[in-house]
Amino acid sequence: MFRKVPAFAIAALLALSVVAQKQYKPYGEWSEKDAQKMLNDSPWGRSQIETDTSEMFFRPDAVTAGGPSTSADRTSRGATNQATSVNYRVRFLSARPIREALARAIEIAQKPPNPQLPAQLKGFVERTFSDHIVVSVTFDTKDPRFANVPRQAFAAAIPATLKVTTTLIRSDGERLFLADYQPPSNDGLGAKFIFPRKGRDGKPFLSSDFSQVRFVSEVAKQVKLDVRFKVSDMMYNGVLEY
């Protein structure tokens, strides 16, 4: 006689099987869409979208995402008469899949293709981060006039101030405080927030024991980041990448 297996047990086993079999194809085969999804909408890369609707209903004196706004400001920079968004891209640069996506995006952008480029990018992709966790932040907007505030905020930020306002927070409440900060440079990788890789107990900060990690930073009064990542989804070809 066979015992009847509860439906929930079957579902759980099937779910575990799917997770165990999940594999990513080699990044050299990724399309541009694949690379961008990995960078902006994946377990290692999230987007925080800040939308300014103030100019949809203009008032002579208002406060916008770019600061206090007056009729003179509106005249000098031009009115948008519509909502405008700034997209903040928050990524675990120390996670291999993010570096693979960046390398692949660079390869695809080369016109004509450069056959030597993959080998040149190999060192960047395969770099190890045994001592640090690096979170990078870039931003983009369709209206370049709205890029001034975040650009100035990231350029002017300093480690001493950010160490008070920037943390990685685990699902159990444990916090990891910022060790260093590098403002955006011409490498195109954005601002870099650097944390120690181990927690206060001397163990790696993240493991499968935790459900979530959250990146929080107040770069400036007008640039506040709060992005969550699901730890169980951060497995990449059998390795927890972060």
| Per-residue pLDDT tens digits for 198-242 | 999 999 999 999 999 999 999 999 999 999 999 999 999 999 999
Lowest mean pLDDT among 58-67, 96-105, 211-220: 58-67
Q: Does 175 have pLDDT greater than 80?
A: yes
- 27's tokens: 């990044």
Per-residue pLDDT, averaged over 69-80, amounts to 51
> Residue 1 has which token pair?
């006689």
Length in residues, the chain: 242
* pLDDT of 84: 85
Higher pLDDT, 65 or 183: 183
What is the pLDDT at residue 221?
96
Give the pLDDT score at 1: 40
pLDDT tens-place string over residues 108-137: 999 898 889 999 999 999 999 999 999 999
Reported confidence tier of residue 63, pLDDT bands at 50, 70, 90:
very low
- The per-residue pLDDT for 13 is 46
Mean pLDDT of the chain: 86
Task: Dig out the tokens for 54 from the structure.
Answer: 């103030």
User: What pLDDT is attached to residue 58?
Assistant: 53
Per DSSP bridges, beta strands 67-70 and 61-64 are antiparallel
pLDDT tops 80 at residue 76: no
DSSP category for residue 130: S
Is residue 112 reached through a cis peptide bond, with omega within 30 degrees of 0 on the bond before it? Answer: yes
At 19, the pLDDT band (50, 70, 90 cuts) reads very low
Domain ranges of the chain: 24-55+81-240
And the tokens for 157? 């930020």
- Dig out the tokens for 96 from the structure: 């291999």
pLDDT number for residue 242: 98
Say which residues have a Cβ less than 8 Å from residue 181's Cβ, sequence separation at least 6: 157, 158, 159, 162, 166, 191, 192, 193, 194
In this prediction, residue 17 carries a pLDDT of: 43
Work out the angle between the directed axes of helices 96-109 and 117-126 (0-180°, nearest 10): 160
Q: N- to C-terminal Cα distance for the chain?
A: 48
Q: Which amino acid is at 101?
A: A
**Is the confidence at residue 11, as pLDDT, over 70?**
no
Contacts of 45 (CB under 8 A, 6+ apart): 38, 39, 89, 90, 91, 92, 98, 101
pLDDT of residue 2: 37
pLDDT at 56: 59
Q: How many CB atoms neighbour CB 151 within 10 A?
A: 14
Q: pLDDT at position 21, please?
A: 44
Rounded Cα gap, residues 143 and 166, in angstroms? 28
Q: Is the pLDDT of residue 15 over 80?
A: no
Query: Which phi and psi angles does 25 have, rounded to 5°?
Result: -70, 160
Q: Classify burial at 101, counting beta carbons within 10 Å of its beta carbon; exposed 0-12, middle 13-18, buried 19 or more.
A: buried
